[in-house]
Chains A and B, each alone.
Chain A
């Protein structure tokens, strides 16, 4: 064989992710794919099509809806599940709050990001999920860089970074005790740029939020925040209209936009290539402390 058959980095990453998804299907009884309507989980769904078609997915799509999501992302989520004919389960953080299981944060920048874990763990218990596939990447954050591809969580959903299983070659060990759960991250080895290059290569559709548009915003801690009914404005906030897009899509309360004219995937790739900040730099919840992500993961966050 000649070198012309060498797989490109995107093809290698794709093949690895498909392999991991198929391992989940084989090693677990009741897996789920955590799907938020953001670009990473949209890529996961695309990879699942590649892994299991012409068969059905061996797992449902599950969304833990904080109630503070962008309408565009929710509509996209429902339309995608409908188009591919796969089951979508939605559970609501609001229900956990109403039941008194989760307590809403107080203060000027309340976020539902942390209490999302309560609803997630309840959903895992309700459906007895033994594996949850997520779109997290190791390049996102330094605690994520430590995470295994098959990451075992105890019966409280907690991650113990000091007691991780060694992960050798591409042999994944999904054996767990009843009540434990494995979080599986098929795109661990992808970077933000890889995801966008893959979206371009595969012509994957995304919610309009990722592309530039005009939006009312306020400045908070040097970040551009979308004005919505979920954030409280006071006399110090000045509402402006700016041309923005979102680099990452989470809750409206903690996801900042970036000022950008990029309205095609090519534009976005060029923008990321010269960007001097990380994707997570626009997430207020990660800026709370040096160990914000690590602490959330110990608390059962995905």
Chain B
């Protein structure tokens, strides 16, 4: 069994919470005591309010809105699912980026009565920017348009027209009614014209993209393990999680950014040594000779090096109330690395619903822009489009310690 992580996106009242509730309910992932709790809380139009399953905070239940991301879990005999349930309106961009950063797939909900709207554009742009391999567009509330195939096909056409400028590799469409459960877990009897799978069936079958097959092996060092005991007197292991590709004992290794070289002597785990280890395994690597390696360094297979530079270009999503002004300094965290940086320039801001590029002096909360960054020391990275694990970063404000931006390197 493997894991599929996905995010649900859509405008307020498009039925996100109801869809998640329906997935959990129809896949029998809701427990009796949870059900009783939401039944006690009252009904909506004669049905239990499935949306209450996802709004975990008192303030959310009081206001009937989702304030922050919640993670929900369910599994079928085929797969474990992790849902990032992101709010539809309050601070949408920031929360969408957060949820999408850990997802393999995005479900974009469209209200069949309204069709493609500005929020659809905005969410699809973010999914494209974050390079999620799959998008499932669920045309919801089909019960309110008499289950019309024509309405569904029109929305599909409209979406594809707009999406041709985006970087979406694989787009699927599904007509559903989250409220009644049509095509969510079971195929719908009301839409005999629909020959495709139900949403759950689709999610169970889709092939997940992983980075274990990447031709570029990457191992950011987290800690140096040095027991200094009698038994392990000279033991010096580099602990970390393989971000992409695989490493084998005997591989020639280059340490970045220093450029020092060595060979892999052993790959250790608590359960014994390995000959080869794959992403995303957490292992401890030992090298043949004693060279200077510490946290923040990256071990790569010689000949397959990433970019090493002090000048970075990136898209960033600004997540703080205080605006970003070029010239400001931040702490950049990328893999296990932390380095001081200065934002040199803001080239433009992107209007997420139209893709327009606009020049402006600074970047505000929830805005996305392209920037150039100068780092205090060289950073080893890959373009985000090649390897998410080494091409992503966050910026931290050293005054407030807040995470103020998410970044994707070019």
Interface residues of A (CB under 8 A from B): 1, 5-9, 11-16, 18-19, 22-23, 25-26, 49-56, 138-139, 141-146, 161-162, 164-171, 173, 175-177, 188-189, 191, 193-194, 275-278, 280-281, 290-291, 294
Complex Cα distance A16/B212, Å?
A: 15
* Known contacts A53-B270, A143-B57, A176-B401; A5 and B225 CB within 8 A of each other: no
Closest 4 CB pairs of A and B: A142-B56, A18-B282, A281-B33, A50-B270
Q: Which residues of chain A are near B34, meaning CB under 8 Å?
A: 278
Complex Cα distance A15/B235, Å?
A: 22
User: Which one of B31, B41, B95, B229 lies within 8 Å of A277 (CB-CB)?
Assistant: B31
User: Which one of B232, B280, B393 lies within 8 Å of A12 (CB-CB)?
Assistant: B280
User: Which one of A5, A53, A143, A169 lies within 8 Å of B388 (CB-CB)?
Assistant: A169
Is B21 located at the chain interface by the 8 A CB criterion? no
Query: Of residues 66 to 110 in B, which have CB atoms within 8 Å of A's CB atoms?
Result: 67-73, 75, 80, 82, 94-95, 97-98, 101-102
Is B375 located at the chain interface by the 8 A CB criterion? no
B246, A5: Cβ atoms closer than 8 Å: yes
Complex Cα distance A120/B1, Å?
A: 38
B394, A168: Cβ atoms closer than 8 Å: yes
Pick from B157-165, B190-198, B328-336 the stretch touching chain A: B328-336
Q: Which residues of chain A are near B222, meaning CB under 8 Å?
A: 19, 22-23, 25-26
User: Which one of A22, A50, A144, A171 lies within 8 Å of B223 (CB-CB)?
Assistant: A22
* Known contacts A56-B227, A175-B401; A167 and B98 CB within 8 A of each other: yes
Q: Which residues of chain A are near B94, meaning CB under 8 Å?
A: 166
A281, B31: Cβ atoms closer than 8 Å: yes
Flag B202-228 by CB within 8 Å of A: 1 or 0 each. Answer: 000000001011000000001101110
Complex Cα distance A144/B70, Å?
A: 9
Q: Which residues of chain B are near A5, meaning CB under 8 Å?
A: 212, 246, 278
Q: Which residues of chain B are near A52, meaning CB under 8 Å?
A: 225, 239
User: Which one of A11, A138, A175, A191 lies within 8 Å of B75 (CB-CB)?
Assistant: A191
Complex Cα distance A153/B61, Å?
A: 23
Interface residues of B (CB under 8 A from A): 1-3, 31-34, 37, 41, 53-59, 61, 67-73, 75, 80, 82, 94-95, 97-98, 101-102, 210, 212-213, 222-223, 225-227, 229, 231-232, 235, 239-241, 246, 269-271, 278, 280-282, 295, 319, 331, 333-336, 388-389, 392-394, 396, 398, 401-403, 406
Q: Which residues of chain B are near A191, meaning CB under 8 Å?
A: 73, 75, 80
* Known contacts A15-B241, A169-B389, A173-B396; A164 and B68 CB within 8 A of each other: yes
In the complex, what's the smallest C-beta–C-beta distance from A7 to chain B, in angstroms? 7
User: Which one of B80, B280, B336 lies within 8 Å of A9 (CB-CB)?
Assistant: B80
In the complex, what's the smallest C-beta–C-beta distance from A14 to chain B, in angstroms? 8
A166, B319: Cβ atoms closer than 8 Å: yes
B73, A138: Cβ atoms closer than 8 Å: yes
B231, A51: Cβ atoms closer than 8 Å: no
Q: Which residues of chain B are near A14, meaning CB under 8 Å?
A: 282
Q: Which of A145, A171, A194, A276 has the most CB of B within 10 A?
A: A171
A278, B31: Cβ atoms closer than 8 Å: yes
* Known contacts A15-B282, A19-B222, A55-B225; A189 and B98 CB within 8 A of each other: no
Q: Which residues of chain A are near B406, meaning CB under 8 Å?
A: 166, 168
Taking A49-B270, A166-B406, A171-B335 as given, write out 18 further A-B residue pairs in contact, using a Cβ cutoff of 8 Å, ordered by the A residue number: A1-B246, A7-B212, A7-B281, A19-B241, A19-B282, A50-B270, A55-B232, A138-B70, A142-B55, A146-B69, A161-B67, A161-B68, A162-B67, A164-B68, A169-B102, A169-B394, A277-B32, A294-B58
Q: Which residues of chain B are near A50, meaning CB under 8 Å?
A: 269-271, 282
Q: Which residues of chain B are near A162, meaning CB under 8 Å?
A: 59, 67-68
Q: Which of A7, A50, A51, A54 has the most CB of B within 10 A?
A: A54
B223, A1: Cβ atoms closer than 8 Å: no
A55, B56: Cβ atoms closer than 8 Å: no
CB nearest to B85 among chain A residues: A145
B2, A169: Cβ atoms closer than 8 Å: no
